[in-house]
Amino acid sequence: MPLFPTALTRDAGLAALSAFLGGPGADYAAARNTDRGRGAQPTTSALSPYLRRRLLTEAEVVEAALHAFGDEGAEKFVSEVFWRTYFKGHLETHPDAWTGTRTGRDAALARLAEEPRLRRIHEQAIAGETGIDGFDSWVVQLTEEGWLHNHTRMWFASIWIFTLRLPWELGADLFMRHLIDGDPASNTLSWRWVAGLHTRGKNYVARRDNIRRYTAEGFDPDGLDEDAEPLDEAKPPREVPLPKADTPPAGDVALLLHLDDLHPESLDLGAARVSRIGGLLAHPEGASEKVRAADESAMRDGLARAEAHFGCPAGPVSEGWAGDLPVVTAWATVGPSAEALPGDCLRLRRDWDERAWPLSTRGYSRLRGGIPKILRG
């Protein structure tokens, strides 16, 4: 059975959440590092495609886990959800990490055109023909299914960077085009983390023993570079102040939905009254058919729910869709949706992000320390 339904909807997300709470959630902390392989029930929640588009909000998923398992039982899962929040806050204050990845990808593509050896290794990697046990199956899973387990993503990125010696930006781009949960912040910063650029000087090295132990198939890759040094860069992304959010105006507004936030029912709109709704679809560059279909079904679902909730027409944005009304929208984090938003719309931030992002400018530990206070708030 496929891991995700054909249509990515909030109802499907709620069903997946309840299956997780009634199943693998109870054993999450102990089992989460194991990749059971394609076709098997995952050890983790597989909620990221829904969280990435906010068909489910981080707040409700965390609340449900705390309710089901208590503070201690849910601790690991809650901490993982906050990794997502952390990466988003970090990218907001280090947007060069996103733009730099694209520049790096373009430079790497130019190198492929000029360096036949690099081109050959890259072609073997994306065709799943490297001969590296595990890696070749994961490439096929990534392109066919749009999904990889977290531990596998770590091994994959590490082998790509340190054994195959391929430019990391090409790997990050491959993930963004194929992962159904492809997320500018989590993906870019995780690749940087594996490379040793996010926590500077500390890279993640994939080890044969670890892969054998944590894969149900018992993949046993020979010849990995297990002594690799971290990558370095001349100019790390500079830190910029967290951009300020807007406040909603009173009176009639047009609400713009985008792929970073498709739960308008829980957005705090103050005294604004929604009288038109438009949906803006901005797929990642080069997104696969699967990713585009997931985005489209999620947007359809968001628009249908918004129409029912606010009692006014909703549809894809078109010329003049908002009339003369002020346009309000949920905050779009650095990435394709933020780049496609009209310049004059009012951007509202959820409390969750407002409380967490100021703690996300450096390492994760500061945010982790703030989790109890954020949850009390």
Ligand X SMILES: Cc1cc2nc3c(=O)[nH]c(=O)nc-3n(C[C@H](O)[C@H](O)[C@H](O)COP(=O)(O)OP(=O)(O)OC[C@H]3O[C@@H](n4cnc5c(N)ncnc54)[C@H](O)[C@@H]3O)c2cc1C
Instruction: Name the residue nearer to ligand X (CB basis): 154 or 345.
Output: 154
Which residue among 12, 13, 44, 263 contacts ligand X (CB under 6 A)?
A: 44
d(CA 321, CA 84): 33
For ligand X, give the closer residue by CB, 196 or 248. 196
| Alpha-carbon distances, residue 228 vs 194, 209, 231 (angstroms) | 11, 16, 9
- The residue within the footprint of ligand X, chosen from 139, 179, 299, 338 (CB under 6 A), is 179
Residue 46 contacts ligand X per CB under 6 A: yes
Give the DSSP H or E segment for 311. Answer: none
Per the rule left: phi > 0, alpha: psi between -120 and 50, beta: everything else, 270 is left
CA–CA distance, 75 with 30 (Å, rounded to integer)? 12
181 binds ligand X (CB under 6 A): yes
**Token output for 312:** 């006014």
Q: Is residue 81 involved in binding ligand X (CB under 6 A)?
A: yes
Residues 161 and 206 sit within 8 Å (Cβ to Cβ): no
Q: Is 194 a residue that touches ligand X (CB under 6 A)?
A: yes
C-beta of 190 vs 333, nearer to ligand X: 190
Q: Which of 9, 45, 57, 215: binder of ligand X (CB under 6 A)? A: 45
Write b or e for each residue in 47-58: b if 16 or more Cβ atoms lie within 10 A of its Cβ, otherwise e: bbbbbbbbbbbb
Stretch near ligand X under the rule CB under 6 A, chosen from 83-91, 214-222, 260-268, 275-283: 83-91
Minimum distance between the CB of residue 270 and ligand X, rounded to whole angstroms? 28
Please give the structure tokens belonging to residue 237: 């992304």
Question: Is the Cβ of residue 186 or residue 329 nearer to ligand X in the bound state?
Answer: 186
CA dihedral 83, 86, 87, 89 (to 10 degrees): 160
**Residues within window 123-162 making contact with ligand X, judged by CB under 6 A:** 150, 153-154, 157
Count of residues that bind ligand X according to CB under 6 A: 28
Binding ligand X (rule: CB under 6 A), the pick from 36, 84, 102, 347 is: 84
CB of 320 to ligand X, least distance (A): 34
Is 52 one of the binding residues for ligand X (CB under 6 A)? Answer: yes
Q: Are 139 and 38 in contact (CB under 8 A)?
A: no
Rounded distance between C-alpha atoms, residue 95 and residue 240, angstroms: 8
- Show the tokens assigned to 36: 């059971």
Determine the Cα–Cα distance for residues 154 and 297; give it in Å rounded to an integer.
29
Of positions 186, 288, 333, 361, contacts ligand X by CB under 6 A:
186
Binding site for ligand X (CB under 6 A): 32, 42, 44-48, 51-52, 80-81, 83-84, 87, 150, 153-154, 157, 175, 179, 181-183, 186-187, 190-191, 194
